[in-house]
């Protein structure tokens, strides 16, 4: 999934989704904890919404590249 990664660290009781988007060498990042968002699915939805907001601030050519990467990841997920 483009720009969104799952983080599970049981030893630190750290579970959630991590968003990371880079533009011109500057990385925007944010963690969406399962506990804070009342569950894994709600945290994922919040992370994806945040990712989409960050991507909308990218230049058009980067937005197109991000859309292609999301489409490829979605197709791969359907196969598994």
The pTM of this model reads: 0.77
For 55, phi and psi rounded to 5 degrees? -65, -35
Q: What is the reported pLDDT for 19?
A: 96
Q: Could you tell me the residue range of the domain that residue 29 belongs to?
A: 4-79
d(CA 47, CA 69): 17
What local confidence, expressed as pLDDT, does residue 80 receive?
Answer: 67
Q: How confident is the model at residue 59, as a pLDDT?
A: 83
Model confidence over 24-74: pLDDT tens digits?
Answer: 788 999 999 999 999 999 999 999 999 999 988 888 888 788 888 888 888
List, for residues 6-32, the tens digit of each pLDDT value: 999 999 999 999 999 987 788 999 999
- The total domain count for the chain is 1
């Amino acid at each position: 999934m483009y720009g969104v990664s799952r983080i599970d660290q049981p030893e630190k009781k750290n579970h959630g989704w991590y968003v990371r988007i880079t533009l011109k060498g500057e990385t925007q990042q944010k963690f969406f904890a399962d506990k804070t968002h009342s569950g894994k699915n709600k945290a994922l939805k919040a992370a994806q919404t945040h990712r989409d907001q960050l991507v909308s601030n990218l230049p058009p050519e980067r937005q197109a590249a991000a859309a292609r990467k999301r489409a490829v990841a979605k197709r791969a997920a359907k196969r598994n």
